[in-house]
Amino acid sequence: GGVVGTLWETFLNFFNGNGFVYCNGSLFTPVNFVYGFGAVIVVVCLHNQTEWWRVYLTGAFGGGAVEYILNFLEEKLLGTRSWNYEGKPFNINGRTTLLYMAVWGLLCVAVIFVIYKPLNVFLNSLPPDIMKTVSAVLAVILLIDLFITVIAILRYSARNAGRDAFTVFGKFIDSSFHDEFMLKHFPKIKFS
């Protein structure tokens, strides 16, 4: 889900004439964590559904809620905002819009019926021990990426507010993920 989200956002930037823009939202992997978390929530909540319209409605409202909550949490916890839809019609506090909620519903139908159900059949045919090992390795890689990405964004926000690092780790993060690097990899971040 996170990789598909990165590809989707990259395509949208090309389509809108912005050229190549980093859209993965992470430092080390091609995973956009917002889409990844959304995909996990979609699969957990909707994997047993067999009626497309229920998946669509649940996905539209659930996708809008997840987008709203993640945007709110990013602003409150990290002091940044990666998207703001205030100028768009039918927006909800600039955090989501009714149009994007409709798109979330369509994406959920595609995720469940086109990707998840066929992929689940294939994955269930693989040996369980291999699947557990692969899952554990991927989970560790993604958790490390998420941890360092969040720390780098927190330091980016703190530097923007004029606060210097006071630990060796903070100074390492500042030198490794300096403002120019962060601006290139997170071009849509706005400080609140």
Residue 9 confidence class, pLDDT cut points 50, 70, 90: confident
Indicate whether this model's pTM tops 0.85: no
**Residue 8, pLDDT score:** 85
Instruction: Tokens 């040996």: give the residue.
Output: 127
Give mean pLDDT, residues 70-79.
Answer: 89
| Residues 6+ positions from 95 with CB-CB distance below 8 Å | 67, 68, 71, 72, 83, 84, 85
**Residue 13, pLDDT score:** 84
> What pLDDT digit, counting tens, does each position of 41-55 carry?
888 888 898 999 999
